[in-house]
Structure 1
Amino acid sequence: MSQLLITGATGQLGSQIVSELTATYPVSQLSVLARSAEKGLTFSEKGITVKIGSYQDPSSLLEAMQGIDTLLLISSSDFNDRIGQHKNVIDAAKAAGVQHILYTGVTLKNIENSPLKPLIGDHFETEEYIKQSGLTYTFLRNSLYADVVPMFIGANVLETGVFFPAGEGKVAFATRNDLAKAIAKIVASSGHENKTYHLTGSQAHSFTEIASYLSELSGKEVPYISPSSADFENALKGFGLPEPIITMSVLFAAGMKNNDFEEVDGSLKTFIGQEPTSLKAFLKEAYQL
């Protein structure tokens, strides 16, 4: 197996991918990128090489890429010039002689017609930049995490009801855990050069269905209200949420209403070797019902 470096390994998706990989991938050939030795301590304690660097520091990235054959670039969670951060990583990989790059993007029906283009269009810019780099690539286009549903509808949804402006738009949610399993399988195997995989749940769901599942699981009537974007935004402001969180929530709701994430693809099921976790099962666990 090749020398593999995983960026974003201290994040939620990255750490789960590393955990999955350690069951099959030789630890001696596995490295992770962390901002400091302290942040990488849980990995170094397992014998995984920790390379110190950040997306904003090109020289640290170039040093971290030395001796690396394959790079898994997990997209930055910092929206401040995210495309610039990704370009730093790609440029360093090319300069250091990395042969193959895998990138975690997003499955979206049509970015050009999406309300989310200002927020996540950089995923597709990154893919294009990778293609232009001449490196062989694998694009891992993830559906929206089921894990974000509680963030959008709240911890007290059984009392308040579902209040979210997604209309009847549907989303093929996938759990972060299932995505991590699939990505680990892809990373640890061959034959994925210059391919794009759409990793989605097996069924698309509306927020009407989410409310119905919660009603069924809890034994309570959980209504769904789809307010206007303006009313939703004002409600979030009333909660005192930070402006970036409000903007992100409003835009994602608009994207869901636009059916940007309704695509269902069988690749996730194929790679994990079983049906992906259903949204109903996820909600049951998330809300301890």
Structure 2
Amino acid sequence: MKIGITGATGHLGRLVVAKMKERAAADDLVALVRSPQKAADLGIEAREADYDKPETLQRALQGIDTLLLISGSEVGKRARQHQHIIDAARQNGVQRIVYTSVLHADNTSVSLATEHRATEQALKDSGIPHTFLRNGWYTENYTASIPGALAGGAVIGSAGEGKISAATREDYADAAVAVLTSEGHEGKVYELAGDEAFTLKEYAAELSRQTGRDIPYKNLPEAEYAAAMAGFGIPEEMARAIAGWDVSVSKGDLFDDSRQLSKLIGRPTTPLSVAIEEALQYTSKAG
């Protein structure tokens, strides 16, 4: 049975490929990527699959039985791009699609959910058996900004006292592998989130504890936070979007205590303290 993995050269995709190679024959795995050259180190077959070039999708999905559709990275284009690959999957007789959506996609205020809702509906309309992995926030969304927080002496945001049930990419990769390599997931919707929820104040406190520095959390009005990020070089539209996501955090939209993720992967999710420790080690080596 051939399993196709879109976005296989991305952060999540690479983790999934590595873990799938431990559970399945490499010959049964296919990396579906925009640039096959960048997938040469994955150790599996790589096929060109450009969401904006439907003809490549038709060729790429030939003989694929199960498809892991990792959501695209181009915000604003993803609903259309995902529709292209769903259409190609249907035309090629793909038997199952596992899709990485967003936590509580059906009722969250997170702006990203609009495209995920559209893709979920497209999958329902396609008639292809499917599973929704509604991933919560990645802990890396925060730990990636540790160098900036250390340089600026503070963690900034607009999340207020909102709790974030984040998990690491590795946690979410394990969930995808669990679903791809076992039965009984058709039609299921998994709300995936970390076991341990934290506020940004608590995140800053843990960062302070591990660095031995006083790094407070500074809560800013949405517009001020967006302006600050734009000042760091983030494009204005993206800066506004990120600030808006923080406001969603303040409303509780990224909190979930159902522990479906840890149940699915058969272990506790990665604690915030461990994620910060690993990020600090990486930052130290990179420096």
TM-score tier after normalising by the smaller chain length: over 0.9
Q: CA deviation at 1:178?
A: 1.3
Counting only pairs closer than 5 Å after superposition, residues 153-232 of structure 1 correspond to structure 2 as 155-157=148-150, 160-232=153-225
CA contact (8 A) 1:3 1:29 kept: yes
Counting only pairs closer than 5 Å after superposition, residues 1-289 of structure 1 correspond to structure 2 as 2-43=1-42, 46=43, 48-108=44-104, 111=107, 114=109, 116-117=110-111, 119-151=112-144, 155-157=148-150, 160-288=153-281
Q: Which secondary structure does the structure 2 equivalent of 1:54 belong to?
A: coil
How many residue pairs align between the two structures? 282
CA 51–14 in structure 1, closer or farther in 2 if over 3 Å, else same: same
Counterpart-to-counterpart distance in 2, 1:96 and 1:237: 44
CA 215–247 in structure 1, closer or farther in 2 if over 3 Å, else same: same
| Root-mean-square deviation over aligned CA pairs | 1.8
Letter of the structure 2 residue corresponding to residue 145 of structure 1: Y
Identity of aligned residues (%): 37
> Structure 2 unaligned runs (5+)?
none
Counterpart-to-counterpart distance in 1, 2:79 and 2:88: 14
> Structure 1 unaligned runs (5+)?
none
CA contact (8 A) 2:4 2:64 kept: yes
Counterpart-to-counterpart distance in 1, 2:213 and 2:41: 42
CA contact (8 A) 1:110 1:260 kept: no
Counterpart-to-counterpart distance in 2, 1:261 and 1:241: 23
Q: Which secondary structure does the structure 1 equivalent of 2:37 belong to?
A: coil
CA contact (8 A) 1:109 1:261 kept: no
Q: CA deviation at 1:154?
A: 5.0
Question: TM-score, normalised on structure 2?
Answer: 0.92
Q: CA deviation at 1:94?
A: 0.3
Q: Which secondary structure does the structure 2 equivalent of 1:287 belong to?
A: helix
Q: CA deviation at 1:133?
A: 0.7
Counterpart-to-counterpart distance in 2, 1:14 and 1:265: 25
CA contact (8 A) 2:33 2:50 kept: yes
CA contact (8 A) 1:158 1:222 kept: no
Q: Which secondary structure does the structure 2 equivalent of 1:141 belong to?
A: strand
